[in-house]
Amino acid sequence: MDLCFDLTLAVGYTSRAQRSRRLTEGWVGAHMFCPRCGNPNIRHYNNNEPVADFFCPRCNGCYELKSKSGRFNERVNDGAYATMIERITSNTNPDFLFLSYSAAAMCVTDLVIVPKHFFVPKIIEERPPLAPSARRAGWRGCNILLSGVPKQGRIAIIRSGTELPREQVIEKLHRSSNLAKGDVRTRTWLFDVLNCVNILPHDEFSLSEMYKYEKLLSTIHPDNHNIRAKIRQQLQILRDAGYIEFLGRGSYRRLSL
Ligand SMILES: [Zn+2]
């Protein structure tokens, strides 16, 4: 995969934002495969499609592209808060591609896909309304809080200038689909427990270690009064999805995937 931009695409554009958009969108359209089905390319929507930037002609997967010179911060600016929440609760949001590039080398350095089902309201932060003097006074945008997404939902396609094996990307994305359970409430629980599993110090862990997160989880989910049962339920889903295994007698192993 050629990671360098086609600079001719930016000829005639003076605004930095427009140049960046032309170059990154041009690169994705020319080189990016569909990480859902492996189709060799994905296509740019012709018009300003409100739902996504790219689609796969084979599996109809939709992708929204976020690009940045340099690494992404924890917060990534996105569009209207209300629209985002509506999209993620109705399951009509696309998968997101986060593309980082080097402005010096004019090449892609990192590309990560966050599958759509990892978007839960918790990782969407409402920005303050625009000032009364602004053209769109009162409008509220949002930030995507990338660090709130479990690492299983941040699947690298290119890392530090190296493309990862495509089969590996597709397999990871496919496996993550096992976590596309229920509505956003259900998935919020699942990802909260998965985030706890991810920060455990050892791959082998016990149920009592997981129960140490009871207090933390009860502050996030104050309406739930049976946190331990909820933890066990999520661990079962993670087992069925192939992210952990049960060793018996309240012991588990985290699988490095
Ligand atoms: Zn596809």
DSSP three-state, residue 191: helix
Name the pTM for this structure. 0.93
User: What pLDDT shows up at residue 91?
Assistant: 83
Q: pLDDT tens across 229-255, in order? A: 999 999 999 999 999 999 999 999 999
Structure confidence by residue, pLDDT tens digits, 210-227? 999 999 999 999 998 899
pLDDT in tens, 98-133: 999 999 999 999 999 999 999 999 999 999 999 999
Give DSSP secondary structure letters for 160-189: TTEEPPHHHHHHHHHHHGGG--SSHHHHHH
What domains are there in the chain, each with its CATH number?
7-177 (3.40.210.30), 184-254 (1.10.10.10)
For 36-53, the pLDDT digits (tens) are 999 999 999 876 666 679
Give burial (CB, 10 Å; 0-12/13-18/19+) of 121.
middle
Which protein residues have a CB closer than 5 Å to ligand 1 (ion)?
A: 34, 36-37, 39, 56, 58-59, 61
Torsion of CA 27, 30, 36, 37, to 10 degrees: -170
Reference 117, options 185, 56, 65; nearest CA is 185
* Whole-number average pLDDT of the chain: 94
Query: Per-residue confidence at 168, pLDDT binned at 50, 70, 90?
Result: very high
Sign of the Cα torsion 116, 81, 156, 21 reads positive
Mean pLDDT computed over 172-186: 92
Cα-to-centroid distance, 211 and ligand 1 (Å): 40
Task: Outline where 98-250 has alpha helix (H).
Answer: 166-176, 184-199, 207-211, 214-220, 227-240
CA of 144 to the centre of ligand 1 (A): 24
What's the 12 CA to ligand 1 centre distance in angstroms?
33
The conformation of residue 80, written as its DSSP 8-state character, comes to E
pLDDT level of residue 200 (50, 70, 90 thresholds): very high
